[in-house]
Each structure stands twice: as structure tokens, then as C-alpha cells.
Amino acid sequence: MSRGNKSELSSCRDRTKENPVMLTTCSTVSDVKNFLQSKGFSNNVILMFSELNGAQLFSLNREDFEKFCGKEEGIRLDSHVKIQKSLCGYENQTNELAKILQKRKEKSEINVESKI
């Protein structure tokens, strides 16, 4: 998501206002805390992630969650985060970025080969 696109930021804000326990890449530290509380996570988990925003939480994976929360809550948190990623289209955004980067890599490799 580009920083300067106000319509995207507005869209994120609108979605989080409609459902205060929904997370997006635009979710604030407070939104993440409210989300974790609403899902019944322990105070330790809430404290552990109390300084992360939505984008930072989305960047973590199951191994990270299990390492920081223990196996049971880590797996549970990973499941909830995956659902939130899916609801806000996060996976699609990252897949699109990966495709763009792959195309650029292929193009640069072709350019390098043609110069040889």
C-alpha cells in the first residue's frame, strides 16, 4: 500500500470503524490490543504484542507466534491473523507484489543475458 494514497487509508479506516475487532495493515497499536482482548487472549499475549500495529502483526508467522506465545496460543493467534489477512485481502496484495518482483527479475535477467 502506498503511503500517499488517501483513498486507501480512508478505506482502511472505514473498515475498522465498521467492525472494531477487524484488523488490516492500517490497524493501530490500539486496534491490535482491542482485537487480542476481544478474542480472549491472555494478558501475557496482549502485553507481548502491545506495541505492534496491524502491518507488523501481519508480518509475523506461526513460528513467531508459537515462539512468543507458546504452542497453544501461538497456533490460535496465527489462525485469527490468517482470517484477518484473508478478510482484508492481504494475501492477494503480497501475491501481486511477488508476481511483479518476479517479472522484474526475469526482465533484468533477459537484459543481462542479451548484453553478454
Q: What is the pLDDT of residues 39-93, one digit of tens each?
A: 999 999 999 999 999 999 999 999 999 999 999 999 999 999 999 999 888 866 6
| Assigned C-alpha cell, 25 | 495493515
Residue with cell 496484495: 93
- pLDDT > 80? residue 6: no
Q: Return left, alpha or beta for 40; rule: phi > 0 is left, psi -120 to 50 is alpha, else beta.
A: left
Tell me if 85 sits within 8 A of 59, measured CB to CB. no
- Please indicate, yes or no, whether the overall pTM of this predicted structure exceeds 0.85: no
Comparing CA positions, the residue from 86, 112, 44 lying closest to residue 78 is: 86
**Mean pLDDT for the chain overall:** 81
